[in-house]
Amino acid sequence: DSGVTQTPKHLITATGQRVTLRCSPRSGDLSVYWYQQSLDQGLQFLIHYYNGEERAKGNILERFSAQQFPDLHSELNLSSLELGDSALYFCASSESRFRSYGEQYFGPGTRLTVT
Amino acid sequence: GEDVEQSLFLSVREGDSSVINCTYTDSSSTYLYWYKQEPGAGLQLLTYIFSNMDMKQDQRLTVLLNKKDKHLSLRIADTQTGDSAIYFCAESTPRDSGNTPLVFGKGTRLSVIA
């Protein structure tokens, strides 16, 4: 158990809908990263938050957004869902300070299926 | 941009050693990681190595880094059926902005034959 929790574990929804994925980092970790894992694209970095502020963006679509709250949990919002958004979404946390050198610990993931 | 390459499949007999290889392109990579993913599960951090090291050993796991060739390997001694999984190599690079998201390879599927 990495100490990172994600809910829900599975999510099935229809095209055009909006969903919210939730992540709680390990106790004391200030950084949260979101990744998407799909068969064709592999593991892709989406976005990084540090202590409530966005730090880096990767291959995140404009239909997707995220935030990190004062209690350090994070939510990833996916809207206008398309079939191609079906994937495993992972969050990871790190005990990084300003420069995130540290190793990242992953949650169990949320499997999103868009029908 | 950064790129990490791995062979996709490896099959070994139980009790043998497994060697999973990885190459990366970013010469400024400072941290290199190995993650394990079992079916239906998340990514488990196995080990990591800093670029100022050549080797790191942790029980059955040995990581070798050839910085000149940008080649990383993970050796699993006495491979067991429980080692069957997908192994991901990942690298991270420090930036002035302080953000170092992981760049992953496509993963090597290790099958252990009893």
Contact call for B48 and A2, based on CB within 8 A: no
Structure tokens at B106: 């496509």
Contact call for A98 and B98, based on CB within 8 A: yes
Structure tokens at B35: 């993650």
Q: Which residue has tokens 């062979």?
A: B7
Q: What is the DSSP string of B58-98?
A: ETTEEEEEETTTTEEEEEESS--GGG-EEEEEEEE---TT-
Per-residue pLDDT of chain B (114 residues; tens, 9 = 90+): 678 999 999 999 999 999 999 999 877 767 899 999 998 889 999 999 988 889 999 999 999 999 999 999 999 999 999 999 999 999 987 655 445 788 999 999 999 999
Q: Which residues of B touch A108 (CB under 8 A)?
A: 41-42
Facing B106 at nearest CB: one of A42, A107, A109: A42
The predicted-structure confidence for A48-99, as pLDDT tens digits, reads as follows 998 899 988 998 999 999 999 999 999 999 999 999 999 999 999 987 554 4
Structure tokens at A39: 């068969």
Contact call for B94 and A103, based on CB within 8 A: no
Q: Which residues of B touch A105 (CB under 8 A)?
A: 45
